[in-house]
Amino acid sequence: MGEASELTKRFKDYDDLVTIKLEGIEDVHIVQKAILCAASPYFLKALDGGFSESSKLSLTLPGCDTGTFEVFLYWLCHRKVPEEVSNPPAEDVIPDAKVSQLFRLWTFDDAYLMPRLQNEAMHCFFRTLELMVDIAKLQRVSEERVPRSPSHTYYMDDWMVLED
């Protein structure tokens, strides 16, 4: 069975709605089971693997705050991170909240086995960090070091890729 057929089968078989509870927050979110199962092997196992969550159709996501879950839901529907998260802020000073939000999104994606969203979160994180670090100064300092030294390799190969 192909990927498209497998997804279609899930929508036929999992016509259920799942209640999502965020740790420490009273509000609940309702999400279609097939969409969650298609998003991550974690959700597939939790909701279709004989665990109590599958019979209750309820999940609690420890360590997930409302903002992170909202970005996750947006990504589920649009397969991209919302503009206010993906674009670095225009101001000179990057708010700590922006950096924290991207880091929480990255850790959420890691915990719930979503590498594509995790990679996108890290890309946004690095784009935001670019504004916090003067790349030109970093490049000048790095060029004064011994070429191909470990620090030179790190700064030039790993950080400078952000310029592409």
What is the residue extent of each domain of the chain?
1-62
pLDDT of residue 163: 47
The region, left, alpha or beta by phi > 0 then psi within -120 to 50, assigned to residue 79 is left
pLDDT of residue 29: 95
- Say if residues 154 and 127 touch (Cβ distance below 8 Å): no
pLDDT of residue 23: 82
Answer positive or negative: Cα dihedral of 105, 51, 10, 16: negative
Query: What's the pTM?
Result: 0.72
Q: How many CB atoms lie within 10 A of CB 36?
A: 24
pLDDT of residue 59: 94
- Give pLDDT tens digits along the chain (164 positions): 788 888 788 777 767 899 999 988 888 999 999 999 989 999 999 998 888 888 899 999 998 999 999 999 999 999 999 988 887 666 655 667 778 888 899 999 999 999 999 999 988 888 877 766 665 655 665 555 545 555 555 555 555 544 44
pLDDT of residue 164: 44
Q: Residue 75: which residues within 8 A CB-CB, separation 6 or more?
A: 81, 117, 120
